[in-house]
Amino acid sequence: MFLLHPLLQISVLLDAVSASPTDDNVLRAGHGEHGEPGHEEPHKDSYSTFASEFLESRYLSDEGYPFPAAPPVDPFARIKVSDCGITKGCIRYGKPGCDAETCDYFLSFRRIGTDVEFEMSADTDGWVAVGFSSDKKMGGDDVMGCVHDDNGRVRIHHFYNVGQWAKEIKRNPARDEEGIFENNRVTCRFKRPLHVPREETLVDLHLSWYYLFAWGPAIQGSITRHDIDSPPVSDRMISIYKYEDIFMPATAYQTFSSPFCLLLIVALTFYLLMGTP
């Protein structure tokens, strides 16, 4: 009697299992049930069989049905200006009669439960923002901005104005954010809590504030200086509880409205009509 090397023993056992008489394929491939030569069948690729079985178990549900495809992403809902002054407050800056897709700058807000939903849009390929200020000057302001990055995404950021530049704040109160860059416009929508404990970089929207409006270019997802030297500011404090449709003409569409300017226009008109003596 002699002993086989352990590796040879394993090989013999595997051969014995693979050639078990209970395997109908082996009987058909070798000899018939009575020892007669059988008809051989093509050899099956064990790896491909395993792979197909794995894929079936991976992509089929417990009932054997394919898993449904992921639902499509909802497209960005257009801003409805017909609701301005009715179910939401709006501020438009630009040409008279402009809307969310044609104004130089557009902002809307409305209360939803304990949140305020903001919509912003501006004629820019970089960023658009709104600031909440206790005065009409830039500095010490809570700012929410929508930034178009190099990957084509629009993300909502939280800033705090330090002097004439904006510092990004890690604590971002925005949620349910969405945005789009289309037709050379940055447009976004997000929610923010209405009432929060007031701190330096985060104001309580339950109170009224002057609103600062700004937009400009971005470099690699980082904001740069705003497009115009003196960004528009609301002429009075805005209450989140009062829905108005406010129009602010852009500089190109502003007219002389001060009493002195009107008096000057009247004097010049009278002088031209009367002529010189």
Average pLDDT score, the chain: 77
pLDDT at 164 over 80: no
pLDDT at 175 over 60: yes
First to last CA, the chain: 145
Please report the pLDDT score of residue 188 as a whole number: 97
Please report the pLDDT score of residue 225 as a whole number: 75
Specify the DSSP class assigned to residue 94.
E
CA distance to 95, 96, 129, 226, per residue, from 252 (Å)? 8, 11, 21, 18
pLDDT at 58 over 50: no
Return the amino acid letter for 227. D
Confidence of residue 61 (pLDDT cuts 50, 70, 90): very low
pLDDT at 275 over 50: yes
Confidence of residue 145 (pLDDT cuts 50, 70, 90): very high
Q: Tokens 């929060």 sit at which residue?
A: 196
Sheet of 185-193, strand order: 175-182, 185-193, 115-122, 105-112, 89-94, 245-249
Complete domains list, the chain, with CATH:
89-253 (2.60.40)
